A and B are shown apart, each in its own frame.
Chain A
Amino acid sequence: MEELQEAIAQNPEAVAGFIERLDLTNQLLDVVSLGTRAMDDEMVVNLVGMVGRLGELLEPASHENTIAGLDKLLNAVAEASDPDNPPDKVGLMGLMKAVNDPDVQKALGFVIKLAKTLGKKLD
């Protein structure tokens, strides 16, 4: 106790700073306490299961080629889904015409390569 009083007398600012941090620590502990009280067994098991499955997915998803490919794909999905600029309906003639478009040719090449690779992995 005496040691504590001496420490406070010698360096009151540091002790005040420490108490302030203790307040924050207590608030953090309250949030941890909230978590433990709110969760039940099933919620914990579900959460861990979901995180686990996400982890499994994240491993291949974090490959730099996958990220680059998915980034392009997702941006293309967003652009093609723009409600202000909806896609035209395309019949057989339209499809034939589209095949001559160099962008469509590139995308088709990607889809065919994807199908080939996927086919090998499905064996």
Chain B
Amino acid sequence: MKRRIIVVGGGSGGTIVANRLAGHLSSEIRSQAVEVTVVNETSYQLYKPLTLYMAFGKNEESEAERPVRELLNEDLPFIQDRGVGLDLDSKELELASGSSLSYDYLVLATGSKLALGRVPGLKESSHHFYGPKGSIKLREELAEFEEGHLVVSVVGVPHMCPVAPMEFSFIADSWFRERGLRDDVKITYTFPGEEMIGKKNIVEWATPLLEERDINLESGFEVTEVDPDGEVLKSSGGEEMEFDLLVSIPPHRGDDLVTGADLGEGEWIETDKHTLEAKRAEDVYAIGDATDLSTSMAGSVAHYQSGVVAERLASQVRGEVPTARYDGKTICFIDGVDGDKATFLEFNYGEEPDIPPESKLIHWAKHSYNKAYWLTAKGLL
């Protein structure tokens, strides 16, 4: 009897796990003993790290998108549709088109989405760099912004790429400096917690660098409302901050499919941190932003988790005991210091990263990887 694996999501995690499965189970797939199907709402994949650079005119939308079909191994069926319902008992995925697919194993790589509507006034008054449309609009604003108060505000936590607001602040600083406008542009970076990020070593590395570049840090600023007419940010502590250009890191939400299926307390899938199995369902795995794990919402996390899930699934399909475990491996670049320097961090669960000094070579490595990323999506690198 044919074993069916369905991967919901055609982002980094979804395509990597599917392509890795195609490698592990190539003979089973060719003999039609196994079928691995990918379901994704759109026909293309967006490589999200590039949208930060799009805001500064360094990358174009066309560089950040590729058809999912082109990224997937040719032996894997691809269905462009949206998963709208899950029956975890009868193991069926219901699609928006009205049809349904039965599965033996399910991988949920449904990611996270922006939820600007959760904070009154945020949608009307802020820009963001978390998608091509938002980044291109922001690029137009930045190109015309010559003086005033630029506020980079972390409104929602957790959010995709925890270091992105820091990177945006660094790049904005050098962008205005290069144009001779830095004295006329005040930059403030606000975040809701006491620290800008959960890792002590990153805070210790970034704080002096941001301060040296006259980027004001405003901790404990939990945005509850934005006044679009008065251009004022309001916090839960009753503080107000005026801005001329607001770049927000909006709240994020999980996919409706996850919420509807009651796979977690909130909108994130309750997931075993090592096996990546969904805790509330049989034969369901979760990877990437969709999980409730304390790891970063970063592409590298989805990447390393995909390898683990593919190995575990291959073992299960063959009737072997799955042994692969995810240890929390995360790799992040922090790019944009003085516009052309970067560093990187690597850590596992519970570890503090070592951070090498920022350098041009690491910046080049980051941009080289951005170019080579599609090899990763194809499961080749």
Q: Does B191 contact A (CB under 8 A)?
A: no
Q: Does B380 contact A (CB under 8 A)?
A: yes
From A34, A43, A47, A50, B362 is in contact (CB under 8 Å) with A34
**In the complex, what distance in Å separates the CA atom of A30 from the CA atom of B364?**
12
A50 touches B361 (CB 8 A): no
From A37, A40, A46, B380 is in contact (CB under 8 Å) with A46
**In the complex, what distance in Å separates the CA atom of A28 from the CA atom of B380?**
25
Fill in one digit per residue for A38-55: 1 if any B CB lies within 8 Å of its CB, else 0: 101011001100100000
Q: Does A108 contact B (CB under 8 A)?
A: no
Which 6 pairs from chain A and chain B are nearest by CB? A30-B356, A27-B359, A37-B346, A27-B361, A31-B361, A38-B331
Q: Does B307 contact A (CB under 8 A)?
A: yes
Q: Does B182 contact A (CB under 8 A)?
A: no
Question: In the complex, what's the smallest C-beta–C-beta distance from A118 to chain B, in angstroms?
Answer: 23
A28 touches B356 (CB 8 A): no
List B residues at the A interface (Cβ < 8 Å): 20, 300, 304, 307, 329, 331, 343-344, 346, 356-357, 359-362, 365, 375, 379-381
Task: State which residues 1-52 of A face B: CB under 8 Å.
Answer: 26-28, 30-31, 33-34, 37-38, 40, 42-43, 46-47, 50
Size range of the chain A interface in the assembly: 10 to 19
Question: In the complex, what's the smallest C-beta–C-beta distance from B252 to chain A, in angstroms?
Answer: 25
**In the complex, what distance in Å separates the CA atom of A40 from the CA atom of B330?**
12
What residues of chain B lie closer than 8 Å to A46, measured between beta carbons? 379-381
**In the complex, what distance in Å separates the CA atom of A62 from the CA atom of B77?**
36
Supposing A33-B356, A37-B346 touch, asked if A47 and B381 sit within 8 A by C-beta, the answer is yes
**In the complex, what distance in Å separates the CA atom of A75 from the CA atom of B331?**
41
What residues of chain A lie closer than 8 Å to B361, measured between beta carbons? 27-28, 30-31
**In the complex, what distance in Å separates the CA atom of A38 from the CA atom of B365?**
12
A40 touches B20 (CB 8 A): no
16 A–B contacts from the bound complex (CB under 8 Å): A27-B362, A28-B361, A30-B361, A31-B362, A34-B331, A34-B346, A34-B365, A37-B331, A38-B300, A38-B346, A40-B304, A42-B20, A43-B381, A47-B380, A50-B375, A50-B381
